[in-house]
Structure 1
Amino acid sequence: MKTIDAAKKQMRNDFMVGHGKGHTQDALVRQKPSLRRKLTDEEISSLYANNRIVQNIIDIPAEDMTRSWFTLKMQDVKLRDAIMSKLRDLKAREAYKEMRRYERLRGDGFISLGVTQDTNFNLAQPLDEKNLKRVDYLHAFSGMKVNDFLLNEDMFSPTFGQVEMFEINRRSRTGTMIAGMENTLVHASRLIHDQTRRLEDEYRGQSLLEPLYDIITVLDTSLWSVGQILYDYAFKIYKSDGVKDMKAEEKRELGTLMDFMFRTEALAIIAADEDLRKESTNTAGIKDLLDYVWDMLAGAARMPKTVIKGQEAGRIAGAQYDVMNYYSRIVADQENEMRPHLERLIRLLLLSSDELGGQIDPDKVEFDISFNPLWEVDAKTDAEIRKLIAETDAIYITNGVLQVDEVREARFARFGLTDLLKYSGDSADFEKMAQEVYAAWKERGNNG
C-alpha cells in the first residue's frame, strides 16, 4: 500500500488527466463527440502561453495578413501619400495585426477609434462623421474587455442581428477605475470589430482553440511520450551484494550518487542474486503516428505543417502546393474580411477636417486597396519557371505564333532592364517612371 501511495505522488500531472469529454479522467476514454468543451479565458491564456505550436497557429496567419500590407491606388498622388503617412503614424498595420490575432485567440478582435469631433460627445452616441476633426489613435483589444454585446433583436429592423452597443470593461490592471465608467456602453460605430467564427445562437465569436483542443491534447501527450522514450533510452543496472541490507534512506542516497555519476535517472539498484529485465520499447511505426497527429492538426488549423513549424514567411519551394493554397486563403481573408475595415478607416480619414487639408467626401474620391503579394518562390524554382517560359516563347517565335517584339513587350513591358535598375520597384517609382516617359513622348510629339 505504501508503494502504491508513493507511486501516486510521483505520477506526472499529465495534460490529459481530468480533461476528458466524458466523466472519466482520461480524455481518450469514453469520449462523447457531440459534447462541446467551452474554454474559459484563463484556459485559453494558459494554452497559448505554454505551447509554442499554439502560438504559431494563432500568430502566423495574423502576421501574414498584414506583413506585406497594401498599396493605395488613387489618382491624387499627394492625397494618397498623405493617407499612407497618416496610417503609419497611427501604426495601423500593427493594430490590424493584433486585432486579427485576438480574433483567432478569443473569437473577437477590436480596434477602438480615438477621434476628435467638433461637438461634445459620449461613447454611447454614434460616431458623427460629418463633424469629425481627426483620428488620434487606434488601440487593439480582445473580447476579454467586453462584458456584453447588445444586439438589435427586432426582426423587422434593417439592422436585425447586428450589435448596436458594446459594454466595455475599462478597469485597469491595478484594479483602479475611472469614476462612473467601470462598464461603459460604447456605440458599435466607434469600434472596428473583427469576428469570423460565431455559432448561430451565440453573439460572441468562438476561439480557434476550442475545436483544436482535442488535437492539441494528443499533440502534447505525444510529445511527452516521445520524451519518455528518449528518457529511458539508456537504461543501467547496478548489482551489489550489500543492497539487500540497505535501508530505504541509504538506497536513495546511493541512487543520488549513481545518478550524479551516470548522468541519468534510468538506473536500477538491485541485489546480486536478483534479476531485472528491461523490455525495449518498440518504436516501429511511431513516425506514422506522429505524422497522423500533425496531419490532423494541420487540417483542423487549415495551415500546412511547414507553416505551423515556422517556415520562412513568404518563401515557397517547388511543388509546395499546400503552402500556395494557404497563401491563397490568406489573400481571400484579406479581401473578404480586412478590406472593409481598412476602407472604413480611410473613409474616416477623408472625412476628418484636420487630417488631409480639409474634409473630403469619400464618395467623390475613387480609391482602391491592392494587397501586396504575400509570397515568392525560391531562387531555384524561379529559375526553372523562367526557363520554361523562355522555351515556350522560343517555340512560339519559331512557329510564327508571336513576333520577337511581341514577346519582348509581354515579358519586359515598355522599359528595358537598364531603366528598371534605376528604381526601387515600388508603385511610386513605377508611376514616376511612367510620367517621365509620357512627358518625353509628349515633348517629342510637339517638337515633331
Structure 2
Amino acid sequence: MAKRTTIDRAQDYKGDFMQTAGKGGEQDPLVRQQAGDWALLSDEEITRLYAGNQIIQNIVDIPAEDATREWITLEMEDEKLARALEKRLETLNAPEAIEKMVAYDRLRGDGFVSIGVTQGGRQWTLDDPINIKSLRSIDYLHPFSRLKLTKFLINVDPFDPSFGDVEKYQINPGHTTMDDSPLQRDVHKSRLLHLQTKRIEDRDWGQSILEPMKDIITVFDTSLWSVGQILYDFTFKVFKSNQAEGMTKEDMREAQMLMDYMFRTEALAIIESDEELKKEATQVNGVEQLLTFVWDVLAGSAKMPKSHLLGQQSGTISGAQYDSLNYYARIAGTQENFLRPKIEYLVRLLLWASDEPGGQIDPDTIDWKVKFNPLWRLDDQTDADIRKKQAETDSIYLKNQVLTPDEVRQKRFEMGSLMDELEMPDDPNGEGEGSNGEN
C-alpha cells in the first residue's frame, strides 16, 4: 500500500469556505474563516481596543469633534436673546457634552447626556417628566455611555403612536442596597438626551462601530506588527566559514558579538580567505500595495478618508479633496438627522426656564432656528484659484454684456462670501425651525 503524504491527507479537507460552516456539510477542519461572521464585542474588549490603539481613537473621536467643532448659531428676531442663549449653552459645556455623546455612540453604540434641572412646585423624582411650566433653570449637562445604564424600556407595539420610543431608562448610580444588590433608579426620557445612530433590528442597544470593523482592525494590527518585524530584521548578517561546524556555543556567541560590533562601528572586516561575511536585505516588493489595501479597507469601514484618519488639520481642504467633501457631507447629515433635535430640545428647555435668559418664553410663540456653522473651509491656494477663475468669468460676462458692473458687484461683494456659495445646505429638507425637539 502506497504511503500517503501530508498533501494527500490535506486534499481530504480541501473545500470552499463559503460552502462550510454547516452550509454544505460538516465544518471543514482546516477552514479558519467564515463569511459574514458577526464579531460580538464585550464592553471590556471595546475598552481595550480603544485604549490600546491611537488609530481606533481617531476613528471614534475625530468625527465627534468635527460634528461639534464649529458648533451652532441661533437665529431669532431678538438678537440679544439669541446671543445670550448661545452663551448659556457654552457655560453649560453643551458643545463638549454633545461631542462626548457622539463619541460614546460610536464607541459603545449609545451615547447619553443627563439634564440636571431645578423645578418649582410639588416634590418630584427622576421618574417624573420635566414640568416645563414650573421649570426654573438647567443646572448641568453630564455625558455618559451605556455602561451606566442597566436597561431601558422601549414601546414595542407597532400599532401604538409611540412605537419605538423609549419610555423609561434604568440607571445604576453605583450605589448598593442593604443586601449589597445594585440600586436601580428609573429616569424619565425627558431628563436625558439619547443618541443611537446604528441599531440592529430586535436589539435594544446600539451597535459599536468597532464590531463590524473587527476583522479589518485585526488585519491592520497584524500589518503594523509585520512592518515592525520587517524593519527590525531589514538587514541581517551572514557569516560563512569552514570552521563553523566545529565551533562551540561560546565561540559562536563571541563571534556573533564581534561581527555585530564590527558591522556597527567599523567599515572594514578582516576575515580568512575561506570565510565569507555579507549582509542580506529583506525583500519588501509588494508590501506597499498590501499596506495601501489595508488602509483603504480601514478607511472605508470607518467612513473616513485616510488623511482624516491620520489627523489632517480639521476643517481645511483643498479643491481636489473630494473624499474630504464627502466626509464633511456625511458629518453634516449626522448633524441634521441626529444632533439637531437634541440641541433644539435644550434650547426649548432654556426658553421655558424662568431663571434662564429671557425668562419663561413659550418656544412655539416665537420664530427661531438652530443653524450649524460651516464645517470646512478651503485652503488659501484653492480659495485664490477659485476667485481668480470667477474674476475671469465675470470679465467675460461684462465684455459680452451678460452682466452689468452693478450686478457683478452685488453678486461678489454683497450677496455673501465664497464659502456661502460653496457651502453644503445645513437643512436639506427645508425644515429645522423651532420643532418639537424629540430628545
Question: TM-score with structure 2 length normalisation?
Answer: 0.80
Partners of 2:259 and 2:54 in 1: CA distance: 35
Summarize the Cα distance change of 1:391–1:237 in structure 2 as closer, same or farther, 3 Å threshold: same
Query: Secondary structure in 2 aligned to 1:296?
Result: helix
Asked whether 1:138 is paired with 2:141, we answer yes
Structure 2 partner of 1:147: 150
Asked whether 1:124 is paired with 2:127, we answer yes
Quote how far apart the aligned CAs of 1:356 are. 2.1
The two structures, once aligned, show a CA RMSD in angstroms of: 3.0
Partners of 2:153 and 2:416 in 1: CA distance: 57
- Alpha carbons 2:129, 2:189 under 8 Å: kept: yes
Query: Secondary structure in 2 aligned to 1:65?
Result: helix
Partners of 1:225 and 1:233 in 2: CA distance: 11
CA deviation profile, 1:201-238 (whole Å, cap 9, x unmatched): 10100000011111111111111111111111121245
CA deviation profile, 1:116-152 (whole Å, cap 9, x unmatched): 1113211112222222111000000011111112112
For 2:311, the aligned partner's letter is G
- Alpha carbons 1:111, 1:138 under 8 Å: kept: yes
Structure 1 partner of 2:39: 37
Partners of 2:209 and 2:369 in 1: CA distance: 31
Map 1:30-429 → 2, pairs under 5 A: 30-118=32-120, 119-171=122-174, 182-237=183-238, 280-413=281-414
- How many aligned residue pairs are there? 381
Quote how far apart the aligned CAs of 1:275 are. 8.9
Quote how far apart the aligned CAs of 1:300 are. 1.2
Quote how far apart the aligned CAs of 1:155 are. 3.2
CA deviation profile, 1:332-370 (whole Å, cap 9, x unmatched): 111111110000000000111111242110100211111
- Alpha carbons 1:74, 1:80 under 8 Å: kept: yes
Summarize the Cα distance change of 1:326–1:344 in structure 2 as closer, same or farther, 3 Å threshold: same
Quote how far apart the aligned CAs of 1:56 are. 0.7
Partners of 1:32 and 1:282 in 2: CA distance: 32
Query: Secondary structure in 2 aligned to 1:157?
Result: coil
Partners of 1:161 and 1:30 in 2: CA distance: 39
Identity among equivalent positions (%) equals 54
Partners of 1:315 and 1:221 in 2: CA distance: 32
- Alpha carbons 1:170, 1:178 under 8 Å: kept: no
Summarize the Cα distance change of 1:129–1:255 in structure 2 as closer, same or farther, 3 Å threshold: farther
Partners of 2:281 and 2:155 in 1: CA distance: 65
Partners of 1:104 and 1:395 in 2: CA distance: 50
Query: Secondary structure in 2 aligned to 1:325?
Result: helix
For 2:395, the aligned partner's letter is A
For 1:207, the aligned partner's letter is S
Unaligned runs of 5+ in 1: 1-21, 23-27, 265-271, 417-448
Quote how far apart the aligned CAs of 1:246 are. 6.5
Query: Secondary structure in 2 aligned to 1:127?
Result: coil
Summarize the Cα distance change of 1:162–1:355 in structure 2 as closer, same or farther, 3 Å threshold: same
- Alpha carbons 1:112, 1:190 under 8 Å: kept: yes
Partners of 2:34 and 2:280 in 1: CA distance: 35
Partners of 1:249 and 1:134 in 2: CA distance: 80
Query: Secondary structure in 1 aligned to 2:37?
Result: coil
Partners of 2:375 and 2:277 in 1: CA distance: 59
Quote how far apart the aligned CAs of 1:283 are. 1.5
Partners of 1:137 and 1:248 in 2: CA distance: 70
Quote how far apart the aligned CAs of 1:154 are. 3.0
Partners of 1:276 and 1:259 in 2: CA distance: 11
Partners of 1:278 and 1:182 in 2: CA distance: 67
Quote how far apart the aligned CAs of 1:253 are. 7.7
Query: Secondary structure in 1 aligned to 2:142?
Result: strand
Partners of 2:251 and 2:338 in 1: CA distance: 67
For 1:402, the aligned partner's letter is L
Partners of 1:381 and 1:187 in 2: CA distance: 50
Structure 2 partner of 1:421: none
Partners of 1:370 and 1:54 in 2: CA distance: 30
For 1:103, the aligned partner's letter is D
Quote how far apart the aligned CAs of 1:182 are. 2.4
Quote how far apart the aligned CAs of 1:169 are. 1.6
Unaligned runs of 5+ in 2: 1-20, 22-29, 266-272, 418-439
Query: Secondary structure in 2 aligned to 1:210?
Result: coil
Query: Secondary structure in 1 aligned to 2:185?
Result: strand
Query: Secondary structure in 1 aligned to 2:212?
Result: helix
Partners of 1:263 and 1:205 in 2: CA distance: 55
For 2:63, the aligned partner's letter is P
Query: Secondary structure in 2 aligned to 1:235?
Result: strand
Partners of 2:153 and 2:395 in 1: CA distance: 65
Question: TM-score with structure 1 length normalisation?
Answer: 0.78
